[in-house]
Amino acid sequence: MKNINLGRNSLAVYATLAITFLMIPIVYTIAFSFNDSGRSNASWVGFTFDKWLNVCADQGVCAAVSNSILVGVISTVLATAIGTAAAIALVRYRFRFRSAVNLLVFLPLATPEIIMGSGLAAQFFNFGIDRGLTTVIAAHVLFCLSFVVVTVKARVQILDPVLEEAGRDLYATPSKVFFKITLPILMPGILAAALLSFALSFDDFIVTYFNSGPVQTFPLFIYSQTKGVPAEANVVSSAVFILAIAIVLTVQVRSSLRNAKLKKLAK
Amino acid sequence: MAIASITRANKDAKSRVTYSRVGLILVAPALAYLGLFFITPFVLLIMTSLGQQSTSGLNQTFSFGLNFANYLPLVTDNLENVLRSFGYALIASIGALLIGYPLAYFIGVKMRHRPMLQRMLITLVIAPFFISFLLRTLAWSQIFSNSGPLLGFLQDVGIMGSGDRLLGTPFAVVFGLIYNFVPFMTLPLYTTLEKLDIRYLEAGSDLYASPSRVFTKVTLPLSMPGVISGTLLTFIPMAGDYVNASKNYLGGAQTSMLGNIIEAEYKNFNYPVASALSVGLMALILILITLYVRKVGSEDLL
């Protein structure tokens, strides 16, 4: 009995240590967003809210962040639209080369970013296309697309075709069935895929590095600051982190509460 | 029953014929996109890798050819970088597995009776995804730095000598790789372990198997799909990573991985060699994955 308890506790301790390990750089990054530092944010000087109040004091940060938001939004919209259509097709319809398409969608996930990045760069270079915002967006849609297909596919798989059939039986037009039944049921999956796409795009460094030309996104800005990254960058990253965690937690708490309610009703 | 299944089969057959074109139309944009931005770039990467580099004035250009010499650095000058890439990725994958497996087991199996806490914990596991990858790695680099808190402490307690350094060592690079990829390892393991039927484990211990025997004979084999996708999801990007090993982050002169060389050649506009190194990296990864998946014995995964 004592042995089992020890075993259970040591696993809990191990898991706590592992989570702590994961949290250290996050806490560090957020803490240093309050650092009253100069150009370089390498060592602790003193506590201040200044960097949060004047994020754009460092011109480079805000320009880079607005590029990143622009790239993130456009890539997310494109990848989510193309990917959702493909996910529905791959689960619900049978057509020629279906398994080949499935494999093709999976391949970018199994390709190191440096290969995708240098491959796209080779393509743009050989076709004489100047690198800039457009090439960055093209590259981001590529790696977001596969994640969207995988995420939405999981949702389409749990969509019961009977619901759509019921709609058709009640004389709804195909477009009405799609917009009133199919899309609302798929929405949580589509939103999750869109969030994931934006997060991936906003934080991407390697693929962007090879295809950006003169354009600077937020991660490229950080990488270019070889003499120390300004605290304003920590502010942006911390703000994005807090926002994302708030969204995830809200969704989780809401679905937990709904599950609890459903369980109560079932009783 | 029989009639029902016949009508269902008929309906299936009918819907297959009616909707086959819709399926193709829906998948066409994705297919076109992947063709244009994934397949073609790959073909061009291979073509560029066989090109001939030439310098005209200040401009570096190249012409297509069959210049296989571009691949030579893989086995000569950059052989050590190749070995480092795969060596670091291997050690770091094992490290991530050793951290990720118990963590995923704890959240997925031990926390089942507390779903709310389970969700909170898995959110903490993916939390690093939401904060800049580069800033997280820089945070470790500042913690490890020569004036940082950790080195001073280790020197004070005598674990490290006064001349020893943390930053710029293979240890720091592998540490950074492990840190950055633990969530990628933990998530697929969690997905598998969360669905694990505990009754199998109880059956094992009811038959007087020791806890370690239950683990090696029951738990581990049942969670193998998670182990395989976790190790692939970490090993592949680790082998191509160059941020952790970069001099401005956790690496130094003696830690350059193949990715760092590709970045440098690319920066010098030496596209043919950069492409050859990329193709070589991809080929080696594919060979290793094939061997690995065959060895672990679940070919239906790929």
For A237, the token pair is 């990253």
How far away is chain B from the Cα of A97, in angstroms, using its nearest Cα? 10
* CB–CB contact B275 A122 (8 Å): yes
How much is the average pLDDT of B122-145? 93
Distance CA B271, CA A218 (A): 26
* CB–CB contact B37 A142 (8 Å): yes
Q: A204: helix, coil or strand? A: coil
Structure confidence at residue B52 (pLDDT): 85
How much is the average pLDDT of A201-229? 93
Across the interface, of B29, B44, B126, the residue whose CB is closest to A82 is B29
pLDDT bucket at A215, cuts 50 / 70 / 90 = very high
Chain B residues within an 8 Å CB radius of A213 = none
Q: Which residues contact A121 (CB under 8 A, 6 or more apart)?
A: A131, A210, A211, B266, B271
For A231, the token pair is 């605290």
Per-residue pLDDT tens digits for A108-144: 988 999 999 999 998 998 888 999 999 999 999 999 9
The average confidence (pLDDT) of chain B is 87
Q: Which residue has the tokens 């800039």?
A: A132
Instruction: Give the A window 66-85 contacts with B, CB below 8 Å.
Output: 81-83, 85
Structure confidence at residue B16 (pLDDT): 39
pLDDT bucket at A86, cuts 50 / 70 / 90 = very high
pLDDT bucket at B14, cuts 50 / 70 / 90 = very low
Q: Bigger pLDDT: B100 or A254?
A: B100
pLDDT bucket at A12, cuts 50 / 70 / 90 = very high
Structure confidence at residue B33 (pLDDT): 96
Residue pair B31/A103 in contact by the 8 Å Cβ criterion? no
pLDDT > 70? residue A5: no
The average confidence (pLDDT) of chain A is 89
Structure confidence at residue B20 (pLDDT): 65
Dihedral-angle region of residue A80 (phi above 0 means left; psi in -120 to 50 means alpha; beta otherwise): alpha
> What is the 3-class SS of B242-282, one letter each residue?
CCCCCCCCCCCCCCCCHHHHHHHHHHCCCHHHHHHHHHHHH
Q: Which residue has the tokens 């020791």?
A: B210
How far away is chain B from the Cα of A154, in angstroms, using its nearest Cα? 13
Q: What is the DSSP letter of A158?
A: T
How much is the average pLDDT of B94-117? 94
| Span of B10-14, B192-196, B296-300 with lowest mean pLDDT | B10-14
Distance CA A185, CA B294 (A): 39
Per-residue pLDDT tens digits for A26-82: 999 999 999 888 777 878 888 888 888 888 887 789 999 999 999 999 999 999 999
Distance CA B134, CA B179 (A): 12
With a pLDDT cut of 90, the percent of chain A lying above it is: 53
How far away is chain A from the Cα of B294, in angstroms, using its nearest Cα? 17
Residue pair B107/B125 in contact by the 8 Å Cβ criterion? yes
Structure confidence at residue A2 (pLDDT): 45
pLDDT > 50? residue B99: yes
* CB–CB contact B23 A92 (8 Å): yes
CA distances from B187 to A251, A256, B103, B183 (A): 19, 20, 10, 6
| Span of B57-61, B113-117, B150-154, B220-224 with lowest mean pLDDT | B57-61
Give B56's strand partners: B59
Structure confidence at residue B297 (pLDDT): 63
With a pLDDT cut of 70, the percent of chain A lying above it is: 97
How much is the average pLDDT of B179-187? 95
Residue pair A73/A224 in contact by the 8 Å Cβ criterion? no
Q: Which residues contact B85 (CB under 8 A, 6 or more apart)?
A: B239, B240, B257, B258, B259, B281
In 10 A of CB A191, how many CB atoms? 15
In 10 A of CB B230, how many CB atoms? 28
Residue pair B29/A86 in contact by the 8 Å Cβ criterion? yes
- Terminal alpha carbon distance of chain B: 37
> What is the 3-class SS of chain B, one letter each residue?
CHHHHHHHHHHHHHHHHHHHHHHHHHHHHHHHHHHHHHHHHHHHHHHHHCCEEEEECCEEEEECCCCHHHHHHHCCCCHHHHHHHHHHHHHHHHHHHHHHHHHHHHHHHHCCCCHHHHHHHHHHHHHHHHCCHHHHHHHHHHHHCCCCHHHHHHHHCCCCCCCCCCCCCHHHHHHHHHHHHHHHHHHHHHHHHHCCCHHHHHHHHHCCCCHHHHHHHHHHHHCHHHHHHHHHHHHHHHHHCCCCCCCCCCCCCCCCCHHHHHHHHHHCCCHHHHHHHHHHHHHHHHHHHHHHHHHHCCHHHC
CA distances from A112 to B59, B66, B92, B135, B239 (A): 29, 25, 16, 21, 8
Distance CA A245, CA B125 (A): 12
How far away is chain B from the Cα of A155, in angstroms, using its nearest Cα? 15
pLDDT bucket at A145, cuts 50 / 70 / 90 = very high
pLDDT > 70? residue A196: yes
Structure confidence at residue B1 (pLDDT): 40
Structure confidence at residue B165 (pLDDT): 86
| Span of A2-11, A222-231, A233-242 with lowest mean pLDDT | A2-11
Structure confidence at residue A267 (pLDDT): 72
Residue type, B104: A
Residue pair B82/A156 in contact by the 8 Å Cβ criterion? no
pLDDT > 80? residue B8: no
In 10 A of CB A47, how many CB atoms? 10
| Span of A147-156, A216-225, B14-23 with lowest mean pLDDT | B14-23
Per-residue pLDDT tens digits for B202-257: 898 899 988 889 998 999 999 998 999 899 999 999 999 999 999 999 999 899 99
Q: What is the DSSP letter of A67?
A: H
pLDDT > 90? residue A87: yes
Structure confidence at residue B2 (pLDDT): 45
Across the interface, of B23, B128, B139, the residue whose CB is closest to A95 is B23
